Each structure stands twice: as C-alpha cells, then as structure tokens.
Structure 1
Amino acid sequence: MAAGMIRVVVADDQELVRSGFTMILDAQPDFTVVAEAGNGADAVVAAHAHAPDVVLLDVRMPVLDGLGAARRICAETAARVVMLTTFDQDDYVYDALAAGASGFLLKDLRRDDLVHAVRVVAGGEALLAPTVTRRLIAEFTRGRDRGTIAPSRLRVLTPREQETLVLLGRGLSNAEIAAELVVSEHTVKTHVSNVLAKLGLRDRIQAVIAAYETGLIVPGG
C-alpha cells in the first residue's frame, strides 16, 4: 500500500449504497477502502482490526446503530467518524456530535462532495459548514451541564488562542478568522492546532463545543 493512503471503512446495511461508496472512494488514487460492514457492531470490529483513518457510518443500522458504533469507535480508536443518513433531522446531527463524530452528511450528496468530505475529515478538520456549525452547536449545548470543560482550563491558552477559540465558536472558517485577526491563514491554522492540542480536543467541532461549555460563547447569543 502506498504511503499517505487514506484508509476508510464503509458501514451501511444497504449493500448497494455500501458498494457505491466503496467504488467512488477506491477510484481515488489516495484512498483505499480497507473494510465494509453491514451493521454497527461489525463496523466497530473493522475499526479495531484495520486501523482506518475515517469510518463512514450510516445512522440507522441493525445490531448496533451508527450512533452507538460512533461512540465506541471514537472512544476506542484513533479513527475519525463521518455519519451518513437519508434524514435531514437536527436530532441526528446533535447525537452524532455527542458521539464524537467529525462530520455529518446526507446520502444524496454528490460524488465529489463525498471524496472531499473524507479528505477533510482525514486531515483533522470537521465537516459542518460555518453557518450550520453555529446553529447546531448552540442547540447542542443548550440545556447541557456546563463544566465538561472547566473555564479555568482556558488559562493554558494565549490571549490570541482564546480569540481564535471564540471565532471558532462563532462558526468562522480559517479564512474568516484570518481576516478578523488580520493574520495569515497559516497563522490561524497554527493557532487552531495549538488550541486543540492544549485542550486535548479531537477537531474543530469539539473546539466549538468547548467555546460554549467554557462560557466563551453564550448559546443563542
């Protein structure tokens, strides 16, 4: 296997959907689908056995549903999870974020969007558009107990890193943060990486959640 290949597990209980995604991804020179799974339990086994970079998980699957599988995969492996569904319902998105997913897609997405999504998540980014991120995370954190991340933990961040976290929490992209702070996108990427490392976060979505849970951003504000 060539160095730098993105390893993917595709999990969906519909064989045609599963095979279709596999064909699309395997056609890319930098992707390899290392396993397929027809239910969530098999997806968890595949994630342990094949050490994929990304796992595509259908929300609704037998034996163990996609959300349950996502919780286990995110907790037990280094794989990043992208949830797939035919239903554009907020509850699924909130549950997917709570499970630790780094992306959420509808199954009717275009071929190029699927490929782009896997590359983005494999690269350590999250996959919700800024405007969607802001709305979803505000709802996700509303009513939750504050304190998952104590405000005192923000002391490890420099003032500029705290500014970056606030702008992440508002759903800004790297380019928008760069314009706001009057710095280069490369500098923004460095700040984002530092925020994730210092707070022990997996990706940008967790950083956005942290901005709310520490009180830097007020839900609905």
Structure 2
Amino acid sequence: MNRIIILISFSFVLVIHLLLLYFYKNSQILKPYTKENSSVQIQLTKISKVEKEQEKQQPQQEQTIVKKEIPKIPQKEPLKKSENVKNIEKQKVIEKQETIKEETVTTKTEEKNITQENITKKDSTIDEINENVNKEIEALIDDYGKKLRDEINKNKNYPTISKKLKEQGKVIVRFRVLKNGLFDDISILISSNKERLDNAALNALYDTKKYLPYDNRIKKEFIEYNLPLEFVLN
C-alpha cells in the first residue's frame, strides 16, 4: 500500500510540474517583444543569411574542386583497334593457309596427273615394244615355216597307183617342231578322202624327221604348224 501511495503522490506532483511549465511557456510567448530582442533577432537572421550564403558558396567551391580533381576515364578505343587488328591478322593467316592448301592440292593433282601421264606413256611404250617383239617373233616363225614346208615338199612322193587312178587332193597335216628341230604329235587335221594321199602326206613328215632348230629369240618350247600338202596331176 505504501508503494501505491508513493507512486500516486509522485505522479500527482509530476503532473502539477508539467502544468506549471506549460503555463510558463505560454506566458513568455504572449509577451511583447522589446527592441533589444528585435535587434538580436535581426542579427540572428543576418547571420543565418550569411551562413546560408556561405554554405551555398562552399558546396559550389567544393563541387568545382571535386570536378577538377576527378580524372577523366580514358576510352577503350585502342583495345577495340587492337582487337580489330587481331581479327584482321587472323583473317590474313586463314586466307594464307587456305591459299597454301589450294596450292598444295593443285600441286598434288598436277603431280598425280604427271605421274599418270608418265605411267600411260610407259605403258604405251611397253605395249609398243611388246607389239614389235611379237611381230618380230611371228615373222621368224613364218620364215621358219616356209623353209620347213619346202623341205617337207622335197620328201613328198605322189603314189603311182593314185596317179594311174588319177586321184588328186589336198591334205592338211598338224605337227609340232621342238627347239632341237624334231617333229612331234604328227596327225591329219583335214583329210583328202583318199587314204593313199593321206598316208603319202604323213610319210613326207616321217621321212623329213628332223629339221634345223629354230631361232633362240623364239622363246616357245615348240612351234605348232598346220601344213597343207597338195597332190595334183600335171
């Protein structure tokens, strides 16, 4: 209870003090101003104006100073130029590489064409050489065959009975001539339909038996001939 009473009394006293303070302030405001107070007020206003002007001037000066002190940020144009230069150099390098590739490709194709031309020329020359060799060998074989036919015709005998019977005809004989000139695999390819004339043709070969060896330039193991032998009455 004592505490409550103390609090109530304290609050009451506090309220009274506040009321007194309020009334005192209002009484001071309502009083007329004196000359001294007005002069003081004027001075204060002047001072305040001067202070305000000084404050206005100070920020301007500070702003100008700040403007002078702030350095300009350099533009990054040279970097762009350098980048452009780099891009141009890259393009030049790429173009050079492409031209070099094209030149290498053209040189390779030219080399291929040259090699193919050389190969075709070599092939053509080889073919020509082979043709010439083959022609030469064929000429040797034909020449050997003519001489051989003359030799066999010397040994050909017309049967007397066939002459009396007036039997005539042509027999084609097939045979081989070995390298040493011996005859081998003798047979009748086309008959004359006259047995005596066919046998006479075979006997002409058997009587010849052997002829001169053929030329060494002929690389064959044997030469095969189909020789026609004619039996004609004069």
What TM-score do the two structures reach when normalised by structure 1?
A: 0.18
Whichever structure has more helix as a proportion of its residues is: 2
Larger radius of gyration: 2
What TM-score do the two structures reach when normalised by structure 2?
A: 0.18
